[in-house]
Amino acid sequence: MTPDKYLGALRAYWKEHRSFPSMAKLAKVLGLASSGGVFKALGRLVDAGYLERVAGGRIAPTNKFFALPLLGTVRAGLPQPADQDEGFELVNIDDYLVDHPERTSFCRIKGDSMRDAGLLDGDMVVVEANSPTKSGDIVVAVVDNQVTVKYLRTDRSKRWRLEPANPAYDVISPTGSLEVLGVVVGSFRRFDRR
């Protein structure tokens, strides 16, 4: 197994168990016959920054362990020549989408009122709480005791309102209370391949 395959085997094990195998099981997971081979493979992954040694001689994943290769930029229009010289870069989804983990959460979109903003039914949005808000932000808000995701806007009288991104839906003007739970700072979706 190459170092990339060792890393792949450990990532697959982590995905299933949310932990690393014991030293006794590592040889089997990595496809190695001896403990010497295990220590050498782990040493390479530590040197490359994917793993770190922690208290008690155990190993733990680093942020780089969870990062995945970025294949580069690809046009959505006309095809482009493949660029083999593009640098190798790793991207961790948390690093890309989450600036403040202590106040970030996810919400799943239900419905199509924000479709023209690119937020579709089933998408996950990244919501940052305690962020300054301004007119034009997409927010998750509690309006009159109901939760929704909409554009935050002001009307001519400078009163806050919530606008959908689909003309089939009406603007929501609070009759009682409006509380912004957080600003939407990103989104992602998974395509069903079944």
The residues that are catalytic are: 113, 150
* CB contact at 8 A, 152 and 129: no
Structure letter (DSSP) for residue 103: G
Whether residue 68 contacts residue 15, with contact meaning beta carbons closer than 8 Å, is answered with no
| CA separation for the pair 151, 173 (Å, rounded) | 12
Query: How many of the other CB atoms lie within 10 Å of CB of 134?
Result: 10
Q: How far is CA 130 from CA 71, 124, 145, 182, in A?
A: 34, 19, 19, 6
Q: Which of 134, 110, 130 is nearest to 120 (CA)?
A: 110
Task: Answer for the pair 138, 175: CB distance below 8 angstroms, yes or no.
Answer: no
Round to whole Å and give the CA distance between 60 and 192. 32
| CA-wise closest residue to 153 among 164, 161, 165, 145 | 161
